[in-house]
């Protein structure tokens, strides 16, 4: 993929020749041949009740694919209900799905009646709940109010799934290519994220060909999630309208790993720091952790009961404050 196949350069910044909406399907932005092929299959399969299995690395957007599968199906006017087995204690999964004896506690399967039910990390579901789910599917299949099931797995289809689940959900498999295999999407997703920053935070940013070339050479182990967070950080921390600093990109890209090592490190007494600096460092770390977990600055602000403008100001202010050691140099 060549940047010049998609963009012109004006004022040192990339400008997309074709409107971004022409590469957009629902919430999915792509011009990757394999992604487009699979989306077309998804659209055709949506007219029936074919169950769907979504495979993909972390951060590839499996939930976005699931929502799109519901949107292009004949059930799009009915509920889309989802649950994540990774966040549920195993003893609560059965009640979460099927409810209890109380008429007011119907369970998620009842709420999904007639629509789509998306189960994330289904390979973490205990075997006895898998068997009960398959019994429920067999009992309700073809009846009014039945449900189309969509599941996603952390790794492979064979991991921790019962034979019945494998047989049923092996009908249609959507495997999301990792971002490193979709260079055209790295470009398009970057430009989309800069557009979102402009619309949500009124910050005008563009990107230079040099920085984009560097981004295309990265492996992006956390895929789309890592890309969007990195672009958002660059937009807030750049002093210029055009993001043209490869050093800034590297700094924003490695921020996640630095935060993780800070979280896991053994606490040590700070050296040559004032109380104010310690508080600022800690607050900066917390804000970045929330942005990483929530997926965007806006969602992080809501979780922290703050405003996006406040978090943006703090990130910029704290990240640019020179430490005493830096002044000495």
Q: Is the pLDDT of residue 206 over 90?
A: yes
Q: What is the mean pLDDT of residues 180-191?
A: 97
pLDDT tens by residue, 289-315: 787 777 777 888 888 888 887 877 777
In Å, how far are 41, 241, 298 from 203, measured between CA atoms? 38, 9, 14
Task: Identify the CA nearest to 81 among candidates 108, 55, 61, 100.
Answer: 108
Domain ranges for the chain: 33-175, 182-328
pLDDT tens by residue, 43-82: 999 988 899 999 999 899 999 999 999 999 999 999 999 9
pLDDT at site 147: 94
Task: Identify the CA nearest to 57 among candidates 254, 187, 225.
Answer: 225
pLDDT at site 47: 87
pLDDT tens by residue, 99-156: 876 767 788 999 999 999 999 988 888 889 999 999 999 998 888 778 999 999 865 5
pTM: 0.76
Task: Identify the CA nearest to 257 among candidates 301, 217, 292.
Answer: 292
Q: Is the pLDDT of residue 88 over 70?
A: yes
- Tell which CATH architecture fits domain 33-175: 3-Layer(aba) Sandwich (3.40)
CATH topology of domain 182-328: Helicase, Ruva Protein; domain 3 (1.10.8)
Tokens of 33: 């041949």
């Amino acid at each position: 993929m060549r940047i010049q196949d998609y963009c012109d350069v004006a004022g040192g910044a990339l400008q997309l020749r074709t409107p971004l909406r022409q590469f957009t399907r629902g919430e999915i932005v792509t011009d990757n041949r394999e992604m487009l092929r699979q989306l077309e299959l998804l659209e055709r399969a949506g007219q029936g009740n074919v169950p769907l299995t979504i495979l993909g690395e972390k951060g590839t957007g499996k939930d976005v694919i699931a929502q799109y599968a519901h949107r292009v199906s004949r059930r799009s006017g009915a509920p889309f209900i989802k649950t994540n087995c990774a966040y549920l204690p195993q003893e609560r999964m059965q009640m979460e799905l099927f409810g209890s004896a109380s008429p007011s506690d119907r369970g998620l399967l009842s709420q999904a009646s007639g629509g789509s039910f998306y189960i994330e990390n289904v390979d973490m579901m205990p075997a006895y709940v898998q068997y009960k789910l398959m019994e429920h599917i067999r009992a309700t299949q073809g009846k009014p109010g039945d449900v189309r099931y969509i599941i996603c797995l952390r790794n492979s289809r064979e991991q921790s799934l019962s034979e019945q689940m494998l047989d049923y959900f092996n009908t249609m498999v959507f495997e999301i290519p990792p971002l490193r295999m979709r260079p055209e999407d790295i470009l398009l997703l970057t430009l989309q994220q800069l557009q979102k920053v402009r619309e949500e935070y009124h910050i005008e940013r563009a990107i230079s060909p040099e920085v984009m070339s560097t981004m295309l050479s990265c492996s992006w182990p956390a895929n789309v999630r890592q890309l969007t967070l990195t672009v958002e950080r660059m937009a807030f921390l750049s002093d210029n309208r055009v993001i043209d600093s490869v050093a800034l990109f590297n700094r924003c890209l490695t921020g996640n790993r630095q935060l993780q090592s800070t979280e896991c490190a053994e606490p040590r007494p700070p050296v040559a720091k004032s109380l104010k600096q310690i508080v600022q460092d800690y607050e900066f770390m917390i804000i970045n952790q929330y942005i990483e977990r929530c997926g965007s600055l806006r969602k992080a602000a809501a979780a922290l009961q703050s405003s996006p403008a406040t978090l943006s100001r703090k990130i910029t202010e704290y990240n640019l404050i020179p430490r005493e050691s830096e002044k000495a140099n």
